[in-house]
Structure formats: C-alpha cells, structure tokens
A and B are shown apart, each in its own frame.
Chain A
Amino acid sequence: MRFTGFTRFSRFAATVGATAMALTTAGASLSSDVRRQPDDPPTFSSDIAPILFSRCSVCHHDGGAAPFSVLTYASVRQHTTLIAELTLKRVMPPWKAEPGYGEFVGLEPLTRDQIDLIQRWVSAGSPEGDPRALPDAPQWNADWQLGTPDLIVTLPQPYTVPAEGGDRFRIFVFPLRVDGTKYVRGIEFHPGNRGVVHHATIRVDNTPTSRLLDEDDPAPGYEGLLAHSAGYPDGHFLGWTPGQVPPLLPKGLAWHLTRGADLVVQLHLVPTGKAEPVQPSVGLYFSNDPPERTPAMIRLSRQNLDIPAGERAYHVTDSYVLPVDVDVQAVQPHAHYRGREIKGVATLPDGTTKWLIYIKDWDFRWQHVYRLVKPMPLPRGTKVEMQYTYDNSSGNPRNTQPLQRVLWGQRSSDEMGDLWIQVLTANERDLAALNNDFRPKMLAEDIVGTELLIRAEPARVALHDDVALLYLAMNQPERAVDHFDASAKLKPESAVTHFNLATALTVAASTGRDVQMSGGRLDQAIGEYQKALQIRPDYASAHNNLGSVLLQRGNPSQAIVHLMEAVRIDPRSAEARYNLGRAYRAQGNRAAAIDSFRETVRLMPNNAPALNDLASLLATAPEDALRNGLEAKRLAQLAVRLSGGQDPAALDTLAAACAEAGEFDAAVEYAQLALQHAPPGRAATLIAERLDLYKQRKAYRSP
C-alpha cells in the first residue's frame, strides 16, 4: 500500500448480516453414523441442504423476502423442478456478476459442482436421505441484523399497493428530524411487507425538494423522479436488495447527517394479486466519531440515450481519467430492461486493464452494490470506463414492451446507463481535487438528461426546478432564472416556485457584472419573495432571504421586520440570526447586533463569518460598555483557524482584538500578516492605516 496511514481506511467491513452468521457448510456436519456409498444419489439432508441453507435461506425462509422456505425438506420438495431449472440457468441465486471478473462481498455465484449436484439430486427424484445428516438450520428472525438502531423511522401511513398491474416505482420521504449533525455508520431497511417490496433505492436529501414533491401527492409517497438533490451522502452507497444488508461502516468512515435532512426511499413494488399495505422502516446507526475519511463517488453516465426500435446492439461508453490516486471500494451498475451487457474497465497509465465489473446478462431486477473484497488501487491517470450494450429488439427476453424507440429517463420504461464507482483517496486534498475535477462532468451530464426530459414534457414543474438547480451548481444562474421562471408561471399558486425564482435572481445579481442590471435583479427578487409570502406568510426562509436582499438594497429597517419574523418562526435558524445582526449593525444598533451575532454563534459555534463579525464589534465598538478585548481575541482566533489561517479579514479582526486587549506586538504581527494576504485595494489600505495605529500602541475604533 503506497498511502501512508491509509490501511485503516482502505477496507470497508467485508461482512454482511447475511454471511456474518455461523453457517454450517457443505458436508461439515455429516454425522459419523450415516453411511453412504459413493454411487448413491445425492440427498437433501447430506448434499443439498448445506447449499440451500448457506446460499439461499437468507431470503428463502418463513417470513423472508422470497416466496418459500428452503429450511425444511417438505417445503423444498414442493419446488424441486423450479430449483433445478433456476439454478441451472443461474437465475438463482440472483448474483449477476460474471465469475472470475472480480471478487465481491457476499455475492459468490454457485459453483459448477453445486449446480451439478442439484441437477443429479432432482433427476434422482429428490430423495430426502437421512434426516440425521441434516446440518443445523440457520436462525433467521425479523429483528435488526445490525443490532438495535439508534433511530428508527417508519413511514407514518402505509401505502397500499393495488392488487394488479405492472411493477410500480414509488418514492417515499422519511423526515429524520435529527437535532444536530449525526455521524451515520449504517442503515438497515425493513420493507414492512416483504412480499411486495422488490428492492429499495435510498438517498439523502438535504433540501426540502423531495419532501415537497411528496406533499404534492395526496397518497403516501409520490410517483416520479428522484430529485438531483437526493444523493448518496458523503460518497456512501445506500440501498436494499433482498439478501444484502449493507455492513456497518468502520470507525472513521461514517457519513454526516445534518438537521433538516430527509431520507428518500424509492421502492420497487410488485403487485401480488391482492391489495397490500406497505409501511417500511429504516433503522439508523450512529457513531460518536466524526468521519476521518470520506469516499468519493464517480458516476460514469450517458443521458443522451436514444435507442431505435429493434436495435440489437446499441453501444454506449463513458469514461473519466482519474486526477489522483484512488482505491476502488465498490461499484454499482444501473440500467433498465434494455440493458444486456455491462462492462466496467480501468485502463492504467501503463496500459494494463482491470475489470471493475462484468455482467453478461444484465437483469434490471437485481440492483446490487458490488463491494470489492479487496480494494483496487488505481493510480492517477487511470481511465475508468463503462461499456454498456442495449438490446431493444424482440430478441431481448426482458424487452417485454412492444418495440419502440427508447430515450433516457428514470422511469422503468425509459432507459438509463450509469456506473457508480466508490473510491477512497489518499487524503483530504486529493479528495477535494477529485470532487472538484469530477463535479462539472456529472452536472453537465445531468443537464443533458434533464433538458431532454423537458423537451418531452415542457409543462413539468419538477423538471424545470431540477435543471435550474443544476445550472445554479454549474454557476449559470441566468439559465436557472429562466427555468425557475417557467416553474413560477406553470404553478403560480405555489409559494415555493416564487421563492426559487427569487433566490436564483439573487444569485444572478451577485454574479452579474452590470451593477444596474444586478440592482434590477434584486428588485425582481424582492417582488417574488413578496409573492411567496402572500401565499405562505409563515415561510421562514422567504422572510430570511427577503431580509437579506433588502439589506443589500440599503433598507435595513425593512430588512429587520422580515428577519425578526424569520427568527420568530424558526428560532433555530442561525442564518436568520446572522442576517439580523448584520441589519442591526447597518442601522448602527451595535448592542443589538452583538446580541444577534452571539445567538448565531451559540446556534452554530463554528460559523466563521459570525465569529469574525462578533469579534470585530467586541474589539472596535466606540461604546466602552460593548467592548471586550479578551473575548474578541478568543473568538477571532477561532475565526482565523476556521478560515484557514490566511483570511485577511479574520486576521485583521484578530489584530484589532489583540490591540483592544493591550497586546500591541501581537496586533502588529497579525495586521502585517493580514496585509500580506490582502489583495491591493481599499481593504488593504484600511489594514495599513490600522497597522500604523497599533505601532503607536493605540487600539482601533470603528466610526
């Protein structure tokens, strides 16, 4: 291993709930008093049960995810023909990765010998054999396999899957309501009704986007698209397929769960013939330790898919050259019914190639995360590539709809092509370099796909919202304004659409070069925020943002009205407190400003701008009663540290605080440092003037 200090982090726990159990494997428990001749046909007790117990019973037990139990002869006997057929065709167990192209945790296929044994057994009439030779059956229960969760969330109301119809994909939003930041080591999904839930895709949305989509649909959950804001947290895969319980993460690899975040769960539901209520639960496991390492998620993807009807082999590739060294931890391919062959290949700078994944016969129904038994090191300059082939002809047995042209889209009748690759980097710097390098590629591809969907359905608000957020992330706020404007026109009765448009206008104003035009944008934004508040007077974020914009437009007293309202509605909003502090300061009410900044820092102790502003007032306020040099110094030190030690404004404040505390030598030193990092201009001139004061052993007072 080339990375020092990396070994601790280089492996995710290589156990899953399913395989962590002590299972008796083939032949191991054959009782000594059972005598068998070598030519005797295989029997259930001696030969078949060990295979079924260890490889199939994780799902096939009473109350399990699969239809029947393999734990008793009586039950197995009723399905022998099916067992022989499906194991021979490798339909079961449903592990799709080609043997010999990488080793994955818990997903080993049956061996040739095991398959032959089952064939011979069924041909011989499926004899039971001597029950005394039967290995101990594994115990499965409905409890949490990872232990008692720290937080259990259950869908508040059950959703009823209708008796009939095709497979359904429905998205449910679970509000988590955590108080502050939590570190999550793992989650365990319980489908609630195993017969109907085929698999679950799980994401985290730190924005209210998914929740609002859910609220728009009167029944629990909503049908439609996962919002782009619903992502894999801190580069960790989440999800559930029968038989796969994702392991708890090792110490130092937890992910952040912040206040206001929702769990977004997309269920693949299969009607059973009668109406079925489904009410899933998710257990979360927290860690006391903040993460020391964060993985990165690379998503190879094509969203310009356009597959002609009848096309037998439609090839799609996407690739990415790694800007840093990484260790591949896991991969997850994604395609729908037309996907046939899935290849993930890494080409190293020296030309050697390694398989990331190879699936010859892709099956949309089995969306596994393939966790590598041993992480795969890939050096900087390695090209990771996906090579997917789609079959949109009648020769594809899973292409079960009438032949038609197929475009990209999230619905199962559309087609997709993604290869998610989870990697660990050597250090935080490499992680940042990788994320910065990769992010524009992903956003650009997402824009391609979403614009394509908008062309097909120009009146869908959710699509306009989605692409607008992507444009904002790509630093193209004007395009975001266009799409949020479309949303607001399509759904003028929604407060959120006006809020979104106003916020994009504000961002556009801050990046626009033309001052007059920026002012116009801000005035438009004020109008849109006001519309949002007419519809929803208790919209705390709208009050906050409107206050902030009014402050920018030089109207602190109007700003204070809205910011106080924001604080009243959401007393825990640090942002509104901070803006309120700024507004009071702009009004010249320094005492009130200090109170607001103090409250901000209490709510968010590591907020560098608030620490800096508070320290600055405590160091330089003209009113003697307001100043406190020592406290200012302590706060400014923290602000300097949090902002990386080179931020001129934070250093300037620290210098002023030292001077107020009577430590003029330190003040001179910090002011000189601030000057070093300040770009030439007015700010630098002011720092230089203050430096002269400190040299004369005088503190600085703000005017």
Chain B
Amino acid sequence: MLCLLVFAFAGSAGAGRLSAAPSTLRLRDLDNALVDPFQALPSTKATVFVFASVSCPISNRYAPEVRRLHDAFSSNGVTFWLVYPNPAESAADIRAHLKAFGYPVRALRDPAHDLAKITKVSVTPEAAVYDARRSLVYHGRIDDRYVSVGVERPAPTRRDLQDVLTSVLAGTPVSSATQPAVGCFIADFVQ
C-alpha cells in the first residue's frame, strides 16, 4: 500500500512541492537521519540509485564513471544517490570511501536490502533509474565493461546508464532492456 505524503523540501527555498513517492520506505543517511529515497522536486526528471560497496573491487572501479555521469546529468534534473547495502559497512567506512573515491554523490544505507528489493537490484555496482512519474524504467549494469567476473573489455562498448538517462531527459522511450550487472552479490551482504 502506498502512503502518499507531501514534504516540504528544506533546501529548496520553498521552490516547489515534492511529488508522491512510490513507497513508504525510509532509509538512513550517513548522519542517521531518515530519508525518503524517492523525495524529489517537481523539476526532477529522473532519480538514479547506484548500489555500491566499500570492498567490492568492481564496484570501486566504476567510481570515475559514476562521477562522470553525475557531473553530466545532475544539473539537468537527475538526482543521484549512492546506496550501500552492506550492513557490515559503517557510516564512517562509507564516509571514508566517498572521500577516497571522490564521489560527489549523497549516500544512503540499505542494510536490510529494502531498496534493493524495490529497485530489483542484485549486485554492486548496479543502477536503478526512476523517471519523473516515479516508474522504474531501468535496473542493471552501468555499462558493458565487465562480461563476467574476471572477463572485461578494455573499454565499454555500450553505456547503458548513460543511454537511459539521455532517453529519459529527451522524453523518448527507454530502449535499453535491463542488462544484468556483474559484481558482488547483495544477497550475500548479511550480518
């Protein structure tokens, strides 16, 4: 059951109304504050969740790509969240990780994998994209650099996440079918 709540967005100088979230889910941020991951401004055209973990090498190797996508799309109405699903990783671990890899992205913790289930994400690194109508339009790999664990291309030949975001911003249908991601399994992140 969806609970339709309307929030006032603190930092938006009262600029707008936040639209309906598709879930009642609240996750903790690094300051332990509860956050609705789907909260968004009316100007938000897409919300991206990138699932990451501190000690997963494939996840880490995507940091520069995530940074690049953030820089390219965040000023065009795309909201980025990094989501850490491993309960063993503390807020301090995650803060250090954000710093080490230069992520300019806000982070949420998803220790019970609630958001992972809603977004149908199963590994780190993997992305989920919601459009302005709060529909899940894509979940899967960021690009096709990794063929499987241990098999990778020198450079990606398809940039799935970038293509999806371009489509969403252009208002054209998302052509990219969900592509399985390669990395560390979120289901194994249990305490």
Contacts and interface: CB of A to CB of B under 8 A. Distances in A.
Interface in B60-84: 60-65
Contacts of A195: 57
B15 interface: no
Contact of B190 (A77, A397, A402): A77
B187 A81 contact: yes
Interface residues of B, number: 31
Interface string A61-79: 0000001100000100111
Nearest to A165: B155
B150 A363 contact: yes
Contact of A273 (B101, B185, B187): B101
B65 A164 contact: yes
A85 B65 CA distance: 27
B153 A68 contact: no
A91 B157 contact: no
A363 B88 CA distance: 33
Contacts, number: 76
A165 B55 CA distance: 20
A274 B152 contact: no
Given A81-B187, A86-B149, A401 B154 contact: yes
Interface string B29-69: 00000000000000000000000000111001111110000
In this complex, the member of A81, A397, A400 whose beta carbon has the largest number of chain B beta carbons within 10 angstroms is A400
A166 interface: yes
Contact of A400 (B57, B154, B189): B154
Interface in B122-166: 147-155, 157
In this complex, the member of B64, B100, B191 whose beta carbon has the largest number of chain A beta carbons within 10 angstroms is B64
Nearest to B187: A81
Contacts of B151: 397-398, 400
Interface in A73-123: 74, 77-82, 85-86, 91, 94
A166 B61 contact: no
B157 to A, nearest CB: 7
B154 A274 contact: no
Which bucket holds chain A's interface residue count? Answer: 20 to 34
Contacts of A80: 188
B102 to A, nearest CB: 7
A59 to B, nearest CB: 13
Given A81-B187, A400-B153, A272 B57 contact: yes
A398 B56 CA distance: 22
B60 A166 contact: no
B60 A78 contact: no
Contacts of A379: none
A78 B123 CA distance: 12
A535 interface: no
Contacts of A81: 185, 187-188
Nearest 6 pairs of A and B residues by beta carbon: A166-B154, A400-B153, A164-B64, A273-B60, A273-B63, A81-B185
Interface of A: 67-68, 74, 77-82, 85-86, 91, 94, 163-167, 195, 271-274, 363, 365, 397-398, 400-402, 412-413
18 contacts: A67-B55, A67-B56, A68-B55, A74-B88, A79-B188, A80-B188, A81-B187, A82-B185, A163-B63, A164-B63, A272-B61, A273-B63, A397-B151, A398-B151, A400-B152, A400-B154, A402-B157, A413-B154
